[in-house]
Chain A
Amino acid sequence: MPAIALEATSADVASAPLAELVGIRKTFGALVANDSIDLAVQSGEVHALLGENGAGKSTLTRILYGLSQADSGEIRIQGRSTPMSSPADAMAAGIGMVTQEFSLVGTMTVTENLMLAGVGLGRIDRMAARARVLDAAARIGVAIDPDAVVETLSVGERQRVEIVKALFHDCRLLILDEPTAVLVPQDVELLFASIRRLTADGMGVIFISHKLHEVVEIADRVSILRRGRIVASVPARGLQPRQIAAMMVGADAASPGDDTQAAALATAIGLDAHVPAPPAAVSTGRGAALEIRDLTLAGASRPLLDRISLSVHTGEIVGVAGVSGNGQTELVRVLCGTTPATSGTVHVGGADITTAEVPARIAAGLGRLTEDRRGSVVLNLSVEQNLVLEDLDRFRNGPFISRRRISAHVRELMERFDIRASASDPIRSLSGGNMQKVLLARALSRNPTALVVSQPTRGLDVGACDYVYSQLRGLRDNGAGVLLVSEDLDELLELCDRIVVVYSGRIIGELSAAEASREELGLLMTGHTA
């Protein structure tokens, strides 16, 4: 019974922390991912773990959850040394983890998914499990249909199922790895309410996030990781996002704002979301860079795109917001020419490209940067080969291609776009950030009239995000039109001049960036028109 376990927990609080990591060290070859890390999580506490990508947060939580083993150091649960050699050990010790990639079986019902852990071989008691699901859902204050098939649920609902799954096993410490990255604002509110209920119950929560305003809102304590070490562990009360950002990059926290690196970082992670972006340089004689008229794509039961009309002017970034699966992917595919539209027209710089093949689209001035980064390159080819893949014709001498001219072109691009790799490296060996730079270089080197961008910073660290943002702004300021499809509201608010919201394949609202608020966008994203 959870209630009894919780009482025992609160009785022990005075003596020892809920969980304690002592002197954890983990290396991968020459890389020290975690270096003598000490971390304690108290019962009833939300402990935020912050750091850039590669700072060691994931490694640390994987060690705590038994997914990977530390080279040295100790894990103590309520003062007792507890080795974690597998997730089963962690679960037995009362630790639950919810990652961005949910571990749910999509074709099974919620109840079946929750029964999976610890299920025996014999008869299963579906009704009892069903009742426990309802119980656990009530504990976090959300409604969950125990008979719903998981793949029919929204991302927010799936996340709640994951949390309920952890509670199912008398979890006393919950690790949430970037739980808000995929949520619309209303779902974030629900999540925070659930977290507060759980901590009031005596549970401990490790909360990993890149969004500093959220950390400030929900955390009791903030620990910051930099290059595998804990560089600060401070109470969250009264902490300013800017100070946290400074600590993350290693600037002096006492003089926030003076440090340009910290300021750049703060910008990159969306702290200045409420400061409108600097007005575009081009303001007169705005033509349409990208003109979409009544674009429709038929689906099996309902249209995937339903009469989408949208123009992106030169010198403008237009954002497309929406919960994933509402037509964004299809819109990008149709614009890029990988899926033919059922009806409607698309013009780039005045030229009709509705039915054009991909090379003709590129020639008409359309640039593309799709969400499928690894699908946009040929993984086994080199950086150099990938960079010129789409315009080999430019380097032709009769039937042959000129290696010399390619090398010169590639060298220039790699320098201009700061690609940190060797031209002959296979592109699969590049980090996400560097790969994105290659794709940006490839798209921008042709000076496109209109650029279609989808999820440009997904999985990138703050430094790389900042770089992508500056490139997109630069393109805009040079007079191109940018269509930015993103699930990251901070990103959209940061970059866009206007934001349209798609829901169920239709545009159901448009807001100027200056007047757009997170709440308003969130409502539109869930299909509520004002």
Chain B
Amino acid sequence: MDFPILAVLAATFTIATPLVWAGLGAVINERAGILNLGIEGIMYAGAFVGFLTAASTGSLALGLTAAIVAGLAAGALMGLLTVTLGVNQHVAGIGTTLLLIAASEFTNRLLFSSGSQTITVKFDRILSGFFAQYPMTYVAFLLLAPALWWLLRSSGFGLRLRAVGENPEAADAAGIPVARTRYAALMLGSALMAVGGAFLTLSLLGSFTLDIVGGRGWICIALVIFGRWRVWPVVAGALLFGFTDALQLQLAITPFFSAVPNELMIAFPYLVVIAALAIWGRGVRYPGAYLTPYRRA
């Protein structure tokens, strides 16, 4: 049997791209002590706002910028809820997700009567063969991941961010502005999540459809635990998911597997994530101040 292994590997990187953007955004949030369950909604908002702006202006750059601005705004909202008001992070995050998905859907229905919209402009793949990937894929793996790895490890901002996520009392005593640092982390992380969402509309599909994010945000939450809040393991986790998804897509059209129900094939990558978490996600050590709002004694 002639199996197109290179095509599967190329698809792996494409599928992993939004997970890398959003997953690393979640790493930035959680290392600062905040579980951002708004991720699914923020990706959705990024996908929709990016699409809407690109569709109405004809500019992909403006579309991407608009998605980033939407992400920053969503991060500020999460900051208001979890940092300033000290709301339970699960509630704030799920509320944000529900709000952003509903707002995107609502606006979409108001503007366009039908569910699915296509734009005329769309990022094209660059290079060819195995290397034929979208620009945002190259940015994710070659620029974003190394930059965030460096940021967390060797920059003052990264040191501050880890300190407020591990022990905000100690950070405060050291003169680090805890609330401001957490806001910054939330806004940066949420902007990355929104870019991950915008990848779906502006690069992958060139259209906006209902349920476009399809649980990728939740997958990222799992990936971050799987990768133990570190940049490269999270990237590896995204690739693992991307690979299993690419594999099932390929197998679904391979005659040998035609007897396997399609639903089972689609569920396969998610089962792998659950299995991976069950094996490697146990006994992990969460950031010290995870889920905990900081108030001066």
Please tell me if the beta carbons of A121 and B174 are within 8 angstroms of each other in the complex: no
Residues 119-164 of B contacting A (Cβ, < 8 Å): 154-157, 159-160, 162-163
Are B159 and A115 neighbours in the complex by a CB distance under 8 Å?
yes
Interface size on A, residues (CB 8 A): 25
Per-residue interface assignment for chain A, residues 51 to 92, with 1 indicating a CB less than 8 Å from any chain B CB and 0 otherwise: 000000000000000000000000000000000001110010
- Whether the Cβ atoms of A86 and B155 lie closer than 8 Å is no
Of B167, B175, B176, the residue contacting A106 (CB under 8 A) is B167
Number of A-B contacts (CB under 8 A): 68
Binds B, one of A122-130, A478-486, A505-513: A122-130
State how many angstroms separate the Cβ of A452 from the closest Cβ of chain B: 30
Q: How far is the CA of A104 from the CA of B162 in the complex (A)?
A: 12
Q: Are B160 and A116 in contact (CB-based, < 8 A)?
A: yes
Cβ of A120 under 8 Å from chain B: yes
> Is B175 touching A122 in the complex (CB atoms < 8 A)?
no
A105 at the interface (CB under 8 A from B): yes
Using Cβ atoms and an 8 Å threshold, which residues of chain B touch A298?
Answer: none
| Given A88-B175, A119-B160, residue A104 in contact with residue B154 (CB < 8 A) | no
- Complex contact B156–A124 (CB within 8 A): yes
Does B171 have its Cβ within 8 Å of any Cβ on chain A? yes
CB distance from A39 to the nearest CB of B (A): 23
By secondary structure, the A interface counts as: loop
A121 and B170 form a contact (CB under 8 A): no
Of the candidates B156, B162, B166, B172, the one whose C-beta lies within 8 Å of that of A122 is B156
With beta carbons under 8 angstroms apart, the residue of B156, B172, B288 that contacts A121 is B156
Partner of A104, one of B156, B170, B175, B176: B170
Q: A91-B175, A103-B173 are in contact. Are A116 and B163 (CB under 8 A)?
A: yes
Among residues of B, the one whose C-beta sits closest to the C-beta of A62 is B297
Contact of A107 among B156, B166, B173, B174 (CB under 8 A): B166
Contacts of A107 in B (CB 8 A): 162, 166, 288
- In the complex, which residue of chain A has the Cβ closest to the Cβ of B157? A121
Given the interface contacts A104-B170, A105-B170, does A87 sit within 8 Å of B175 by beta carbon? yes
Task: Knowing A87-B173, A117-B175 are in contact, say whether A122-B155 is a contact too (CB < 8 A).
Answer: yes
A119-173 residues at the B interface, CB under 8 angstroms: 119-124, 126
Taken together as a complex, chains A and B put the C-alpha atoms of A101 and B156 apart, in Å, by 25
The reply on B169 being an interface residue by CB < 8 A is yes
CB B176 to nearest CB in A, in angstroms, measures 7
Contacting pair A112 B159 (CB below 8 A): yes
Most buried by B among A88, A115, A116: A116
Bound CA span A116–B174, Å: 6
A275 part of interface (Cβ distance < 8 Å): no
CB-defined contacts of A123 to chain B, threshold 8 Å: 154-156
Question: Would you call A86 and B156 a contact (CB within 8 A)?
Answer: no
What's the nearest-Cβ distance from chain A to residue B42, in Å?
Answer: 24
Report the minimal beta-carbon distance from B20 to chain A, rounded to whole angstroms: 24
Q: Are B167 and A86 in contact (CB under 8 A)?
A: no
Q: Is A375 an interface residue (CB 8 A)?
A: no
- A104 to B, closest residue via Cβ: B170
Q: How far is the CB of A163 from chain B (nearest CB, A)?
A: 14
Known: A86-B175, A88-B175, A105-B162. A116 touches B170 (CB 8 A): yes
Q: Which partner residue on chain B sits nearest A114 by CB separation?
A: B174
Q: Does A392 contact B (CB under 8 A)?
A: no
In the bound complex, what is the Cα–Cα distance between A146 and B207 (angstroms)? 54
Bound-state CA distance A205–B255 (Å) is 81
Chain A, Cβ-Cβ closest to B181: A121
Residue of A nearest to B159 (CB): A119
Residues of A within 8 A of B173 (CB): 87, 103
The count of chain B contact residues (Cβ–Cβ below 8 Å) is: 19
Q: Which residues of chain A are within 8 angstroms of B174 by Cβ–Cβ distance? A: 103, 116-119
B169 and A103 contacting across the interface, CB-CB below 8 Å:
yes
Closest residue of A by beta carbon distance from B171? A116
Closest to A86 in B: B175
CB-based contact A105/B154 at 8 Å: no
Task: Give B170's nearest chain A residue, CB to CB.
Answer: A103
Residues on A with beta carbons closer than 8 Å to the beta carbon of B175: 86-88, 91, 117-118
- When distances are taken between beta carbons in the complex, the residues of chain A under 8 Å from B167 are 103-106
Whole-angstrom CA separation of A103 from B178 in the bound complex: 14
Interface pair B166/A124, CB less than 8 Å apart: no
Assembled-state Cα–Cα distance A258/B184 (Å):
64
* Bound CA span A119–B157, Å: 8
Residues of chain B within 8 A (CB-CB) of A116 are 159-160, 163, 170-171, 174, 176
Q: Please name all residues of chain B whose beta carbon is closer than 8 Å to the beta carbon of A121 when the two chains form the complex.
A: 155-157, 160
Complex CA gap A214/B154 in Å reads 43
As a 0/1 sequence over residues 493 to 525 of chain A, the CB contacts with chain B under 8 angstroms (1 = contact) are: 000000000000000000000000000000000
Query: Is A108 engaged at the interface, CB distance under 8 Å to the other chain?
Result: yes
Least Cβ distance of A347 to chain B in Å? Answer: 35
Q: Please, which residue of chain B has its CB at the minimum distance from the CB of A300?
A: B283
Task: Provide the residues of chain A in CB contact with B169, threshold 8 Å.
Answer: 101, 103
Q: Which of B157, B173, B176 has the most CB of A within 10 A?
A: B173
A106/B288 in contact, CB under 8 A: yes
CA of A406 to CA of B169 in the docked complex: distance in angstroms? 43
Known: A103-B170, A117-B175. A108 touches B156 (CB 8 A): no
Task: Determine the chain B residues whose CB is within 8 A of the CB of A126 once the complex forms.
Answer: 154
Nearest neighbor of B184 in chain A, beta-carbon distance: A121
Q: Which of A88, A113, A124 contacts B155 (CB 8 A)?
A: A124
Q: Residue on A with the closest CB to B158?
A: A124
* Contact residues in A for B172 (Cβ distance below 8 Å): 87
Per the bound structure, the CA–CA distance linking A126 and B160 in Å amounts to 14
Distance between Cα atoms of A102 and B171 in the complex (Å): 12
Least Cβ distance of B99 to chain A in Å?
Answer: 31
A154 CB, min distance to chain B CBs, angstroms: 18
CA distance A122 to B35 in the complex (A): 25
- Give complex CA distance A139, B157 in Å: 30
Give CA–CA (A113, B160) in the complex, Å: 10
How far is B160's CA from A87's CA once the two chains are assembled, in angstroms?
A: 17
A113 to B173, CA, bound (A): 11
Report B24-35 CB contacts with A as 1/0, cut-off 8 Å. Answer: 000000000000
Q: Which residues of B contact A122 (CB under 8 A)?
A: 155-157
Distance of A262 from chain B, by nearest CB (Å):
34
Q: Digitize A92-104: 1 where CB-to-B-CB distance is under 8 Å, 0 elsewhere.
A: 0000000001111
Bound-state Cα–Cα, A120 to B181, Å: 12
Closest-CB distance, B181 to chain A (whole angstroms) = 10
Which residues of A are found within 8 Å of B156, using beta-carbon distances? 119-124
B231 → A minimal CB distance (Å): 16
Contact A105 B163, CB 8 Å, known A87-B175, A88-B175, A116-B176: yes
Determine the residue in chain A with the shortest Cβ distance to B173: A103
Chain B residues with CB under 8 Å of A103's CB are 167, 169-170, 173-174
Bound Cα distance from A117 to B175, whole angstroms: 6
B202 to chain A, nearest CB (A): 30
Q: Do the beta carbons of B166 and A105 come within 8 Å of each other?
A: yes
**Complex formed: what's the CA distance from A117 to B173 in Å?**
8
Sorted nearest first, the 10 A-B pairs with minimum C-beta distance are A103-B170, A117-B174, A116-B174, A103-B173, A88-B175, A119-B156, A120-B156, A121-B157, A105-B167, A105-B166
20 A/B residue pairs, CB under 8 Å, sorted by A:
A87-B175, A88-B175, A103-B167, A105-B171, A106-B166, A108-B159, A108-B162, A113-B170, A115-B159, A116-B159, A116-B163, A117-B175, A119-B156, A121-B155, A122-B155, A122-B157, A123-B154, A124-B154, A124-B155, A124-B159
Kindly list 10 other residue pairs between chains A and B, CB separation below 8 angstroms, not including A116-B160, A117-B175. A86-B175, A87-B173, A91-B175, A101-B169, A105-B288, A116-B176, A119-B159, A121-B157, A123-B156, A124-B154
